[in-house]
Amino acid sequence: MIGSRRRRLGAWGFEGVDLVAPQPLLSFLNERLGASAGLPRADPARFAIAPPRSLPGALGEGSREPLDRLAHARGQGLTDLVRLRTGTVTALPDAVLRPSSEDEVESILRACAAAGIRVIPWGGGTSVTGGVNVLPGDEPLVSLDLERLSRLVDLDERSGLATFQAGTFGPEIEAVLGARGFTLGHFPQSFELSTLGGWIATRASGQESLGYGGIERLVAGLDVRAPAGKLSIPAFPASAAGPDLRQLVLGSEGRLGVVTRATVRVRRRPPPLVVKGTLLPSWEEGIEGAREIVQRRAPLDLLRLSDAFETEVSLLLGLSRDRALDRIVQRLLSLRGVTEKSCMMLCGATGDGLEESAAILKAHGGVRVGASPGRKWLADRFRHPYLRDSLLDSGYATDTLETAAPWSRLSDLSERVRRAFPEPIVVLCHVSHPYEDGASLYFTFFFPCPRDPEEATARWAHLKRAATAAILAGGGTLSHHHGVGIWHAPWYESEVGRDGLRLVENAAAAFDPTGILNPHVLLDPTDRLEV
Amino acid sequence: MIGSRRRRLGAWGFEGVDLVAPQPLLSFLNERLGASAGLPRADPARFAIAPPRSLPGALGEGSREPLDRLAHARGQGLTDLVRLRTGTVTALPDAVLRPSSEDEVESILRACAAAGIRVIPWGGGTSVTGGVNVLPGDEPLVSLDLERLSRLVDLDERSGLATFQAGTFGPEIEAVLGARGFTLGHFPQSFELSTLGGWIATRASGQESLGYGGIERLVAGLDVRAPAGKLSIPAFPASAAGPDLRQLVLGSEGRLGVVTRATVRVRRRPPPLVVKGTLLPSWEEGIEGAREIVQRRAPLDLLRLSDAFETEVSLLLGLSRDRALDRIVQRLLSLRGVTEKSCMMLCGATGDGLEESAAILKAHGGVRVGASPGRKWLADRFRHPYLRDSLLDSGYATDTLETAAPWSRLSDLSERVRRAFPEPIVVLCHVSHPYEDGASLYFTFFFPCPRDPEEATARWAHLKRAATAAILAGGGTLSHHHGVGIWHAPWYESEVGRDGLRLVENAAAAFDPTGILNPHVLLDPTDRLEV
């Protein structure tokens, strides 16, 4: 539940909301990938749920409800959905604890450490890296759901600093700030379902990170509670008093402790975001245009460049709505030199912020296609993951991978990752989250989902391993904003080195000496892609 | 030596360069503080230098020259100057080692760890927090001077990423980049004398940090060598693969290891910086104007707001040059409502970047005073520390303190720190390094310097303790850009907490288990202000 809205089991988002795959997209996938049989939706009746193991009284009651435990067993990765749909999730937390104060978080953690009970901190549960997944094992385990820690603690309007408890969800943060004339500006795709604490634990980035920065820039101070440690980092605009300990917590994925509150940098609410589309003549020209926009510091809040294939699929998604208009637009575009190699760039800004980028893109052969693609993207910006469920209903599995790299490597890197997928897998790519020195690449791939969950998981794991290897070989980071979780952990050492890993292990050991906190994410290199 | 220029002993900068205190300033100090007798300049003949302790052959030759050892005994803090002038520095490194490769750094560190020899990494030696000071002790100690590691390793022009070895000095970095059309934009006051590695170790900020960011934003990747560890963090524009380990190295002051190279974000060289002055009717109005400029994101690279007292002293510094013009200007200003409470703000930008801030300041009662104060500031921006030596020649000690805090606390904080100094100490203050959520405060204080070095040191330590306590009580950070060093270390725990300190200790212990690296900075809480 978030407010009065009920979350769906084994699918994205809320009951009653859907984004149904349009027929042109299904025809396209059918043509490319062949026909596939749909997977049934998740049904609680399909699960044989073992009774919870007993827990010490010091932990308080918590919830032992089978459905509540099931809802806290897995995140939102593709194979989480497959296993929840097929009733093959067997490892559940023994209880869901919902502390009502930050001190209660601390006492729960101490009691769990004393009793050897493992703890998985739970924000919105939207991890796509296995970051909140319960693994089969003998130790008792609880899910620590922070949903009751969800209030504004303080707003310093002059400094633009807002302190929230960590369990506050995105829409609540914006509603509370909006009522006072402010915005945080952090809008990840999971915005409606994810929390401040989850963003911090995973170093999340919002879609408007170009204008506002990722969560690592937005967090000015934070509090952490751990079984054997406690941090309360004050909100300074900057400090040279030793290393920046906030940056050790950001991305620690629960291994170091539980973030209970954070002070974030907020801004006066600007006029609404305007997003407009431009077609660039090629992927390479688009990347150069994006680079120039960012390096010249044109005042954009958002920039996304789709490759030609993703541009085509986006058009398919739109086609079902107004075919006649679309045919006219396409004819006009072809008259202006737009081809099947054209790549759509969306630029978003407030006020007259789009002018400078438009001029830059014109010099790169850009053809403006007006506000309609941007309006459509804005309308669906938090709904796109629902499409994944609809496609799975039709038998097509979809997953995403993302990375970031310097500008000089992006084109080669995108090509390497595309080639890592065997034919006829459909792979789309876009550039987003651009920085002066580089950008992230985001890949979406589609394959026919085997009906058998083990087969489906093995197929996905095979593709994921190949694509991740290509990302690292191409000089990209293991993740720009999804995090490491359980599934990327086998590659974490190759990114930070043996001694980098050791630094994080040491920090975790200082705060959680018995290793009860989310023990398989980030630092456990076991390959669990097929679990 | 930096290039062909010879550094002065016990004073700032290079032989042959000076900034002599103008008579109006001396008269002003004389009137406020009373007459004082000047301290003699440093004279190598005044020192009784003990022969170096023997070191294992594995360390290589190094330099055992008495003057070289003396030049590596102390940084540039006020009492360093006093002790060097009075010949009361007794603890010297036993050798100065100048490795010629990054691997040699590593082998030296391993050999030192094996033999129990302490190591103080040395960049430009400009620390004002005791960060490179040798303390009296029984263990042999070497200074590890990185001046031979000073080349451009790689420049990725498309991504704007330049990799330099860590011993490269500021002017060399800008010269090499400038020849290729780029700039790093990092201009701390110590720019001519400090190195990339030193900036990283101390989390330095340049005067144009508003436009470029501090070193913590500029560093994209780095390499560290340590007695029992090694890091090679690649240059990604951003990453969610675990905590940001760069930010654990930035500010580690040599405790974690020696930074041997770093990849920094560079930009196409913009047109020259233009700096213009505006007089604001009061300190509070000035702070509000600065806040509005930054929160509205006016495109400035630099902003400094002097309090009324600093404004007056700046005018005294200028008076000696063109008194007639100054009198005319003053008369004109008084006609426009400028009073003795007026505060000078300097705004710097390239191109037409000053327009927006000028409009904002006008609404805050600002009176533009043209380009002359800005030109003067630009001309002297790296020479101001020479003035300190000239004042000491006349018997007046000068030192600085700095902090940062949210906007809502700045006015109160500045008042607390001013009140922490007893009459008739002269205290000037300015706001610089502004951020959306706050800014740094920089204090300069003057007092008559006792001729006896112990008395001078005790007097300074007394003032420093009182001012630091006021900074912390007022909600400021222990340091915005000078770092912790030896002198601020007693207060470090009160900033990060016991467990924050423990995290940094653990990281240091992982890379330097025998504790040979710069062992008294940052983590050793002993009060050594009088050493």
> DSSP per residue over A145-165, as a string?
E-TT---EEEEETTTTEEEEE
CA distance linking residue B521 with residue B528, whole number of Å? 10
pLDDT above 90 as % of chain A: 89
Amino acid B242 reads G
Question: Could you tell me how many CB contacts below 8 A there are between chain A and chain B?
Answer: 282
Specify which residues B444 forms β-bridges with: B400, B428
Helix segments in B151-207, DSSP class H: 170-179, 196-202
Q: Which residues of B touch A438 (CB under 8 A)?
A: 159, 236-237
Q: What is the pLDDT of residue A530?
A: 95
Q: Give the containing element (helix H, strand E) for A448.
A: strand A438-448
Handedness of CA B269, B270, B272, B277 (dihedral sign): negative
Q: Are B232 and B257 in contact (CB under 8 A)?
A: no
B478·A239 Cβ contact <8 A: yes
**A242 vs B404, B484, B506: nearest CB:** B484
Nearest chain B Cα distance for residue A405, angstroms: 5
Q: For residue B274, which phi and psi values (nearest 5 degrees)?
A: -110, 130
CA distance linking residue A182 with residue A188, whole number of Å? 18
Q: Which residues of A touch B504 (CB under 8 A)?
A: 242-243, 245
Structure tokens at A302: 């958002």
Q: What is the pLDDT of residue B324?
A: 62
Q: Are B299 and B208 in contact (CB under 8 A)?
A: no
Nearest chain B Cα distance for residue A503, angstroms: 6
Q: What is the pLDDT of residue B351?
A: 82
Q: What is the pLDDT of residue B384?
A: 93
Range scoring the smallest mean pLDDT among A1-10, A41-50, B252-261, B372-381? A1-10
The 10s digit of each residue's pLDDT in A131-182 is 999 999 888 999 999 999 999 999 999 999 999 999 999 999 999 999 999 9
Given a cut of 70, the residues of chain B with pLDDT beneath it are 1-3, 318-329, 332-333, 338
The 10s digit of each residue's pLDDT in A319-368 is 545 566 566 667 766 776 767 889 999 999 998 889 999 999 999 999 99
Specify which residues A165 forms β-bridges with: A261
**A250 vs B244, B438, B440: nearest CB:** B244
Q: What is the pLDDT of residue B5?
A: 85
Q: What is the pLDDT of residue A325?
A: 59
Q: Give the containing element (helix H, strand E) for B388.
A: helix B384-393
CA nearest to A294 within chain B: B159
CA nearest to B202 within chain A: A240
Q: Are B316 and B309 in contact (CB under 8 A)?
A: no
Choose the mutation target among B110, B127, B159 for the interface with A, i.e. most A CBs under 10 Å.
Answer: B159
CA distance linking residue B288 with residue B294, whole number of Å? 10
Residue A3 CB partners (closer than 8 Å, separation 6+): A172
**A437 vs B160, B252, B522: nearest CB:** B160
Q: For the sheet containing A343-349, what is the strand order?
A: A367-370, A274-280, A343-349, A302-306, A426-435, A438-448, A396-406
Choose the mutation target among A154, A499, A501 for the interface with B, i.e. most B CBs under 10 Å.
Answer: A499
The 10s digit of each residue's pLDDT in B15-62 is 999 999 999 899 999 999 999 999 999 999 999 899 999 999 888 889
- Given a cut of 80, is residue A15 above it in pLDDT? yes
Q: At what angle do helices A407-420 and A453-473 cross, to 10 degrees?
A: 150
CA distance linking residue B342 with residue B143, whole number of Å? 47
A204·B268 Cβ contact <8 A: no
**B251 vs A244, A404, A522: nearest CB:** A244
Structure tokens at B265: 């974000």
Q: What is the pLDDT of residue A320?
A: 43
B161·A216 Cβ contact <8 A: no
Q: What is the pLDDT of residue B13?
A: 96
| Residue the block writes with tokens 């403006």 | A368
B507·A436 Cβ contact <8 A: no
pLDDT above 70 as % of chain A: 96
Q: Are B108 and B149 in contact (CB under 8 A)?
A: no
**B236 vs A159, A204, A438: nearest CB:** A438
Nearest chain B Cα distance for residue A27, angstroms: 36
Q: Which residues of B touch A216 (CB under 8 A)?
A: 238, 244
**A503 vs B234, B291, B507: nearest CB:** B507
Structure tokens at A106: 């601390």
Q: Which residues of B touch A229 (CB under 8 A)?
A: 499, 502-503
The 10s digit of each residue's pLDDT in A189-245 is 999 999 999 999 999 999 999 999 999 999 999 999 999 999 999 999 999 999 999
